[in-house]
Amino acid sequence: MDRCSHANVWDGVSEGMTTDNMQHGNLYERYEWKHPTQVAGVPWKNPVATASGTFQYAAVRWFYDVSQLGAVTTKGVSPVPWEGNPGIRTAEGPSSNINAVGLQNPGVDHYLEDDLPKLKAINANVIANVAGHCDDDYAEVVAKLNDSPADMLEINVSCPNVSAGGMSVGTDPVALSRLITRLRKITDKKMIVKLTPNVTDITVPARAAVESGADALSLINTLLGMRINIRTGEPIITHVTGGVSGPAVLPVGLAAVWRVRTALPEVPIIGIGGIDSGEKALEYLYAGANAVEVGAAALFEPTAPLRVARELDALLDARPELADKLAKGETWR
């Protein structure tokens, strides 16, 4: 019988500096960050991190020094290697992309032996993303990460491209509460819960996660979507549906952060969705986020997270009240 069968599943830049200018700058040159933030008491040198699923150190280390980021959120790790979904995994949408990769990863043991030590060796602030098909999966990974040098954990209960797992947990506040309560007993590390937007009211699972022991929330994960091949009349993606990300999801992410901040004034929030510039990151901070993660933009421009961070650092020069709040671990609203 499957091990999960009994669990409920599922530098100095100016404000006018352009993307082209940043891309032609030296991203390895020394840069003094002026505007730090704090997330659940953990200091970040700036408010920008990579988003899980779009970051691979072995690839991006040739493009920029990832230790310059506020944090690096690594790709989700599972108890054992996952091959991901077969067939066609990606498609393009209007101002967006759709993926059904299926959380492919080499497993937590490989992560502990290879990826994590390399990131810590360059003094990166690391958020280890945790994936699972069931409660036992999550518990096994968190237990192994508890003794690791990872700075924070991000629990992915929301990815819509896995047949059994995070989707149902992230949309069911009772199942979510049970899972986070169990994980809280396993680890002392700061634990971020990554929420799905594919719910009627995102404040409900947000509250369930916080009341069960989450130290912070990250939102949003991808929206559920699909594309049809009009030549065949069939879905382009073999898995049929996938997670929608990119510029098109920005308004959805901003609204989610605003609503959760209004409902939960004290919880640290990391905003995610459609961020490809310092200006868009700034919108999330004004919506009530403590920090942001850059994801889909890095698929097309590997240096996007660092560019966004430097653009945001310059924008915060002219916004001392917001910058001061972030430095103290507070938010705009």
Tell me what pLDDT residue 168 has: 65
Measured between alpha carbons, how far apart are the two ends of the chain, in Å? 49
Query: What's the chain's average pLDDT?
Result: 90
Tell me what pLDDT residue 292 has: 98
Tell me what pLDDT residue 79 has: 95
DSSP string for residues in 280-333 = HHHHHHHHT-SEEEE-THHHH-TTHHHHHHHHHHHHHHT-HHHHHHHHTT----
Enumerate the domain spans of the chain.
31-327
Q: Is 159 a catalytic residue?
A: yes
Q: If you search the block for the tokens 């949309």, which residue do you land on?
A: 171
Closest CA to 103 of 136, 74, 73, 78: 78
Tell me the average pLDDT across 95-103. Answer: 92
Tell me what pLDDT residue 103 has: 86
pLDDT digit string (tens) for 152-169? 999 999 754 343 444 568
Which of the residues 66, 141, 159, 214 is marked catalytic? Answer: 159
What does CATH list as the number for 31-327?
Answer: 3.20.20.70
Helix crossing, 320-327 with 278-287: angle to 10°?
70
Q: Which residues contact 25 (CB under 8 A, 6 or more apart)?
A: none
Residue 193 pLDDT more than 70?
yes
Residue 303 pLDDT more than 80?
yes
Q: Where are the beta strands (DSSP E) in the chain?
A: 37-39, 42-44, 48-50, 72-73, 90-93, 96-99, 126-130, 152-156, 190-194, 216-219, 223-225, 228-229, 234-235, 242-245, 269-272, 291-294
Tell me what pLDDT residue 243 has: 93
With cut-offs at 50, 70 and 90, classify the pLDDT of residue 232: very high
Q: What is the DSSP letter of 113?
A: I
Say whether 153 sits in a helix, a strand or coil: strand
pLDDT digit string (tens) for 8-49? 322 333 344 444 444 445 677 779 999 999 999 999 999 999
